[in-house]
Amino acid sequence: MPIQVIETQRLYRQIGEQLRKLIEAGEFKVGARLPAERDLATQLGVSRPSLREALIALEVQGYIEVRMGSGIYVCEPATGQGLALDLEREEAPLELIHARRLVEGEVAAAAARVGRKVQFDAIEAAIVRMEKDARAGVNPLAADRLFHLRVAETTGNSVLIGLVRRLFDARLGPLFAKLDRHFETPEVWTQAIAEHREVLKALRSRSPAKARAAMRRHMDVAFKRLTRSLTRTRRDRAPNRSAGVKRTSTGSPPVRPSTRSRQR
């Protein structure tokens, strides 16, 4: 038998695979509520953000249902398209945001250094489009993408433009789509648009340090939003609100991991 390359599996997939096996083995019955996120993360020996990525993957595949303000429940076994959905090439959402923070922070710094007024005006036009879409009740994601591409285009570097495009488009898969449905609200987009305007302000000041910091703050807010509890209510998730949710044990059977996952 020929030696095969050993592939490093993304952590969220390792966690999801273990939970899937427990569900299929009947450790968690159909209709049962899973343990609270905090308890489940402790039992698995992983961080809560990594657990949430795994739970979203299981929800996309039809194994569980996340009910805001209630909990996470095991679903009837899905058939057809749900379980056939291949997430092998899906990037881990939080790793993707971290990568964008590093790359786009430096892209913004370069754009501030070499950008021209006409290019900054084009960036502002993308923000105006975001604002119009938000007021009309249209998802501003396409205009958001345009904003980040125009910042990259300001650098004049085709490699950076392509990299920003690939990183942004990686968030258009089913995992991010499900996360967006859980966490995006009109208030979130209002905050995001304000962050974009702060980036533009820094670009127009022609300060690489300010532009880098503004873009990184924007990514930091996105990271914090996606690491909030999956089962908090939309009111609890609005910007600048405290958690205010008391987590209780569900009485579900403890998870018995076969191998202790690495803490991220």
Complete domains list, the chain, with CATH: 93-228 (1.20.120.530)
Query: Which position has the higher pLDDT, 165 or 263?
Result: 165
**pLDDT of 15 over the 60 cut:** yes
Mean pLDDT throughout 58-62?
A: 89
Q: Which residues pair with 66 in a beta bridge?
A: 72
**Spatial separation of the C-alpha atoms in residues 156 and 153, rounded to whole Å:** 5
What are 64's two structure tokens?
């569980």
Q: In 3D, which of 100, 93, 96, 91 has the Cα closest to residue 215?
A: 100
The SS3 assignment for 224 reads helix
**pLDDT of 243 over the 60 cut:** no
Supply the pLDDT for residue 76.
Answer: 81
Q: Which helix (H) or strand (E) holds 73?
A: strand 71-74
What's the pLDDT band for 86 if we cut at 50, 70, 90? low
C-alpha angle with apex 115: 114 to 121, nearest 5 degrees?
175
Q: Half-sphere exposure (CA, 13 Å, Cβ side) for 212? A: 9
Could you tell me the pTM of the whole model?
0.76
CA-to-CA separations, 49 to 15, 33, 72, 188, 228, in angstroms, rounded? 11, 19, 15, 19, 8
Long-range pairs, 20-29, Cβ under 8 A, ≥24? 20/58, 20/61, 20/63, 22/255, 23/58, 23/63, 23/64, 23/74, 27/253, 27/255, 28/74, 28/252, 28/253, 29/74
What are 78's two structure tokens?
């899905």
What's the pLDDT band for 157 if we cut at 50, 70, 90? very high
Using CA atoms of 27, 30, 35, 37 in order, give the dihedral in degrees to the nearest 10: 120
pLDDT digits (tens, 9 = 90+) for 250-263: 444 455 444 344 44
What's the pLDDT band for 172 if we cut at 50, 70, 90? confident
Q: Note whether 123 and 76 are within 8 A (CB).
A: no
